[in-house]
Amino acid sequence: MPPLQNDTFLRALLRQPTEYTPIWMMRQAGRYLPEYRATRARAGHFLALCKSPELATEVTLQPLERFPLDAAILFSDILTIPDAMGLGLYFAEGEGPKFERPVRDEKAILALSKPDVGTELAYVMDAVSSIRRALQGRVPLIGFSGSPWTLACYMVEGGGSDDFRRVKTLAYDRPDLMHHLLSVTADTVTDYLNAQIAAGAQAVQIFDTWGGALGHAAYREFSLSYMQRIISGLTREAEGRHVPVIVFTKNGGQWIEDIAAIGCDAIGLDWTTDLAVAKQKVGDKVALQGNFDPVALHAQPAAIEREVARILASYGQGHGHVFNLGHGIGQTVPPEHAAALVEAVHRLSRPYHAV
Ligand code: CP3
């Protein structure tokens, strides 16, 4: 493998000195880019794109051709795991993800078993190695998975949900079944992330998109504890480097001291948390990633720049900040606005790293 030309992102995750604040964007390869829509049309549909290592490589690199981003993220989806467990993932046009066979009763939950990720999800590992080859050491590659709780939300609800009525009812009525589901899923996520690391992922992010829908105690019981178990089973050293782990619990801003204690290297934050407060709470325990409101990318470049300046100032002097959006970039964002964001972060962050 060629040496990394830009390891700013990996150094920031380990709170080591960097010359500027690195940036990548959640969902940086996506429908806001016309070239993504063209490749998706060639693939036929989104899942075909995920399952073709060649096309997944192509779309992973598209945002890097446009913007000088400091990391690439594997093009895939968190729902590949329940798909490999046999739930039958499909995307109904304009409706988001759905499962043909959601798991809602005792029989279905007890029948779940850990898939062999090396065979059932080989297409993901093939995409990881193909992307690493195509990157030629330009920037690091991020691998990812959903958290067990977030995957359980889709597995039980059968798709997206406004109130998570089914999955929460199950957790309260039958914690034994919920723990079984989460336990099988956590073991699968551990294997899955380790396989991505073996295939060439240089950092990994756990997307706990729906952890923040849980109450204080339920979050610890049903989400945080399983992420801790995953992290304790991960390969932390590859190619002579530490492999950083980022935990992103959307709406988890009040729980960051607890998240910082589960062995991760960095915490992803949405825009509802003040970085200054977060930094004070976690001290030098973990790096912080975030937290530009993705909807603000619809505003004009001058407004985007003001918001970037405000976020950089809230983190303040020093290392350990990875700039990102607080959630995925929307399909209606003009690509030039994303370009303005990346440019502003690189330019305005330099003074914060001067010693
Ligand atoms: O960040 C990246 O560029 C990597 C690719 C990536 C996708 N999904 C591609 C995608 C990543 C990291 C994900 C994670 C993911 N998937 C999450 C966690 C992060 C988050 O956004 O909260 C979740 C909850 C999912 C499940 C999922 N997949 C949903 C709810 C949807 C529909 C949303 C939508 O925008 O339509 C998807 C589809 C999906 N995953 C798309 C992309 C680019 C859009 C598919 C398309 O091309 O139509």
Atom from ligand 1 closest to the CA of residue 49: 47
Chain center to CA of 118 = 21
Alpha helices in 200-270 (DSSP H): 216-218, 225-232, 256-260
Q: Cis bond leading into 6, ω under 30°?
A: no
CA 284–ligand 1 middle distance (angstroms): 31
Atom from ligand 1 closest to the CA of residue 144: 12
CA 327–ligand 1 middle distance (angstroms): 10
Q: What is the pTM of this model?
A: 0.97
Predicted confidence at residue 4, as pLDDT, reads: 96
The residue whose CA has the least distance to atom 39 of ligand 1 is: 77
Region 5-22: mean pLDDT is 98
Predicted confidence at residue 178, as pLDDT, reads: 98
- What does the pLDDT look like over 137-170, one tens digit per residue? 999 999 999 999 999 999 999 999 999 999 999 9
Q: Is the CB of 98 under 6 A from ligand 1?
A: no
User: pLDDT band for position 34 (50/70/90)?
Assistant: very high
Predicted confidence at residue 93, as pLDDT, reads: 81
CA 334–ligand 1 middle distance (angstroms): 18
Instruction: Judge whether 31 counts as a catalytic residue.
Output: yes
Q: Which domains does the chain have, with CATH numbers?
A: 24-287 (3.20.20.210)
Q: In whole angstroms, what is the distance from residue 31 CA to residue 38 CA?
A: 9
CA 283–ligand 1 middle distance (angstroms): 32
Percent of the chain with pLDDT over 70: 100
Atom from ligand 1 closest to the CA of residue 96: 32
Predicted confidence at residue 65, as pLDDT, reads: 98
Q: Which regions of the chain does DSSP assign to beta strands (E)?
A: 72-73, 89-92, 96-99, 141-146, 203-208, 237-238, 241-242, 245-249, 266-268, 287-292, 321-325
27 CB neighbour count, 10 Å cutoff? 18
Predicted confidence at residue 2, as pLDDT, reads: 85
DSSP state, residue 167: H
- What does the pLDDT look like over 265-292, one tens digit per residue? 999 999 999 999 999 999 999 999 999 9
Q: Is the CB of 132 under 6 A from ligand 1?
A: no
- What does the pLDDT look like over 236-267, one tens digit per residue? 999 999 999 999 999 999 999 999 999 999 99
Atom from ligand 1 closest to the CA of residue 74: 4
Q: In whole angstroms, what is the distance from residue 93 CA to residue 74 CA?
A: 23
**DSSP letters of 46-110?**
HHHHHH-HHHHHHHHHHHHHHS--S-EE----TTHHHIIIII-EEEETTTEEEESS---SHHHHH
Quote the tokens at residue 60.
């992973």
- What does the pLDDT look like over 287-327, one tens digit per residue? 999 999 999 999 999 999 999 999 999 999 999 999 999 99
- The catalytically annotated residue of 7, 15, 20, 27 is 27
- The catalytically annotated residue of 77, 83, 265, 270 is 77
Question: For the chain, first and last CA: distance in Å?
Answer: 33
Instruction: Judge whether 154 counts as a catalytic residue.
Output: yes
Q: In whole angstroms, what is the distance from residue 354 CA to residue 349 CA?
A: 9
Q: In whole angstroms, what is the distance from residue 37 CA to residue 125 CA?
A: 23
93 CB neighbour count, 10 Å cutoff? 6
Atom from ligand 1 closest to the CA of residue 36: 47
| Residue whose token pair is 């078993």 | 113
Does the pLDDT value for residue 355 go beyond 80?
A: no
Q: Is the CB of 212 under 6 A from ligand 1?
A: no
CA 77–ligand 1 middle distance (angstroms): 6
The residue whose CA has the least distance to atom 45 of ligand 1 is: 46
User: pLDDT band for position 95 (50/70/90)?
Assistant: confident
- What does the pLDDT look like over 208-233, one tens digit per residue? 999 999 999 999 999 999 999 999 99
310 CB neighbour count, 10 Å cutoff? 11
Q: In whole angstroms, what is the distance from residue 282 CA to residue 34 CA?
A: 40
Q: Decide if 245 contacts 203 (C-beta within 8 A).
A: yes
Contacts of 85 (CB under 8 A, 6+ apart): 112, 113, 115, 155, 188
- What does the pLDDT look like over 107-147, one tens digit per residue? 999 999 999 999 999 999 999 999 999 999 999 999 999 99
130 CB neighbour count, 10 Å cutoff? 19
Predicted confidence at residue 345, as pLDDT, reads: 98
- The catalytically annotated residue of 7, 15, 20, 40 is 40
